[in-house]
Amino acid sequence: MVVITRSKRRRLLEEEDDAAGLDLDLISRLPDDILRDVISLLPTADGGRTQLLSRRWRPLWRTAPLNLEATASQKDNPFAAAILAAHQGPGRRLSLTWHGRSDDSAALDALLRSPCLGGLRELELYYAATLIPPGEPCKPPPLAMFRFSPTLHVLNVSCRSCRLEIPTAAGATDFPHLEQLTLRFIIISESTLHGILSRCPVLRSLILYYTIGYRHLRINSSTLQSLGVTNGLIKGNLEEIVIDNAPLLERFIPNGEHLRIRVIQAPKLKIVGYLYSRRDGVPASDLGTVGFKGMELFSMTDAVRSVKVLALNTVPTLDVVIGFLQCFPCVEKLYIKAFTPGRFWIVPRYVTLECFDAHLKSVHFMYYKGRKRSEVNLIRFFLINARMLESMKFILGHDQCNEEWVAKQHKKLELGTRASQGARFDFEPDRWTLSHVTCMEHIHNLELDDPFDRSRTYPYKLNWL
């Protein structure tokens, strides 16, 4: 007589349930290696929950490539430590926020030296260390973070007011596979920064967000495609950006009022902005000498004809607008962000520009209020000159758009006299006050054609004209 115990009966029932589920669950029939890759793409909590699906899935998570997002400190890091201790698979991605003391980071060093993180491909370290004692500079994150440099493809380091220290050992900071690099709120010397960039032979995308400690940035990269730079909050830190040789660079997003930008060799540059201009403006005849605070060209004949998308931060005079359009004569999509209205008191004049006659199809006005004559005159300048215009979009500031307001704008803009009768006019609300931050977030997405286009993140349209 065979005795079936309660535990054995439970196992048999589980096996029957698993077998029945496998008949309907085609995903579970995939090989283990494929299922592990699927699990590694999930957030940490969701990856762990896959163990509850069935007996087939239980052992997979512990051996799948690790994708860990965690917050830890020197006193309270049981979650991250427990996962690293129990996981048997290789490390793929680690996103770690550290809230420990800056003078006692042994726990963070231990986490970064965990054996299961060997071969890490993506590292995001948010070093929010506490200042101990108050007022002293925050000590940098441990050098253990550089142990992953031979295998990293993505590196994102954010440590507010901390100086980034680099290991002195030969080859310790070589990044042979690094494609994306982000440095935020870091103090770094000019020599150290350029040294790191010179050791990234396949770098495709770079973000320097409010990094300080250097005044000049020179780009020499045969692989870089996307570059975003926001200069430090303190005037006098980053003063000049020189794109010396970047044959594959397609998008360049600088942000800062006190920047000189020199483009020497970037034949594939397609997207540029937000560019600043001087308050007093620059006559079009002076184009190519000192130029604008946001752009400096080398000679009177230089023009960046490859640029198709251009974003301007301020346009104080009509000569400044014309000067920029002469700099970039093949622009198809133009963004103008004006926190303060320019001096457009005179009725706009007719001009002959290549972009007006053959290229410019879309114009976006950011923070439009529709109150002052200067705003209307600037828009009228484009309406009476842009012959190829297909659409004009107004991103509203603090005004609430309604039918009465739209009717008044229709009358003010005199749309019946526009050069392109088929142009369409949209009015949209604005909920992104820090638009340059939004652009920076999209720099690493090389498949995104236009990082300034907010319709991808906020598609709602309030009114049509």
At residue 300 the predicted structure's pLDDT band, cuts being 50, 70 and 90, is very low
pLDDT category, 193, cuts 50, 70, 90?
very high
Mean local confidence (pLDDT), 193-213: 93
Confidence of residue 45 (pLDDT cuts 50, 70, 90): low
- At 207 the pLDDT is 95
At 135 the pLDDT is 62
Q: What is the 3-class SS of the chain, one letter each residue?
A: CCCCCHHHHHHHHHHHHHHHHHHHCCHHHCCHHHHHHHHHCCCHHHHHHHHHCCCCCCCHHHHCCEEEEEEECCCCCHHHHHHHHHCCCCEEEEEEEECCECCCCHHHHHHHCCHHHCCCCEEEEEECCECCCCCCCECCCCHHHHHHCCCCCEEEEEEEEEECCCCCCCCCCCCCCCCEEEEEEEECCHHHHHHHHHCCCCCCEEEEECCECCCEEEEECCCCCEEEEECCCCCCCCCEEEEEECCCCCEEEEECCCCEEEECCCCCCCEEEEECCCCCCCCHHHCCCCCECCEECCCCCCCCCCCCEEEECCCCCHHHHHHHHHHCCCCCEEEEECCCCCCCCCCCCCCCCHHHHHHCCEEEEEEECCCCHHHHHHHHHHHHHCCCCCEEEEEECCCCCCHHHHHHHHHHHCHHHCCCCCCEEEEECCCCCCHHHHHHHCCCCCCCCCCCCHHHCCCCCCEEC
Average pLDDT over residues 348-360: 89
Asked whether the predicted pLDDT for residue 218 surpasses 80, the reply is yes
19-23, 96-100, 325-329, 406-410: least confidently modelled range: 19-23
| pLDDT above 80: residue 264 | yes
Q: What is the pLDDT of residues 106-155, one digit of tens each?
A: 778 888 888 888 889 999 998 877 666 666 667 778 888 889 999 999 99
Q: What is the mean pLDDT of the chain?
A: 77
* Comparison of pLDDT for 300 and 71, the residue scoring more: 71
pLDDT at 85 over 60: yes
Task: Please give the pLDDT value at position 284.
Answer: 33
**302-340 pLDDT per residue, tens:** 678 899 999 988 777 888 888 889 889 999 999 988 655
Is residue 223's pLDDT more than 70?
A: yes
What integer pLDDT is reported at residue 2 of this predicted model?
47
pTM assigned to the model: 0.80
Q: Where is average pLDDT lowest: 248-252, 298-302, 418-422?
A: 298-302
Mean pLDDT (whole number) for 250-272: 87
Give the residue with greater pLDDT, 275 vs 24. 275
Average pLDDT rounded to a whole number, residues 412-419: 76
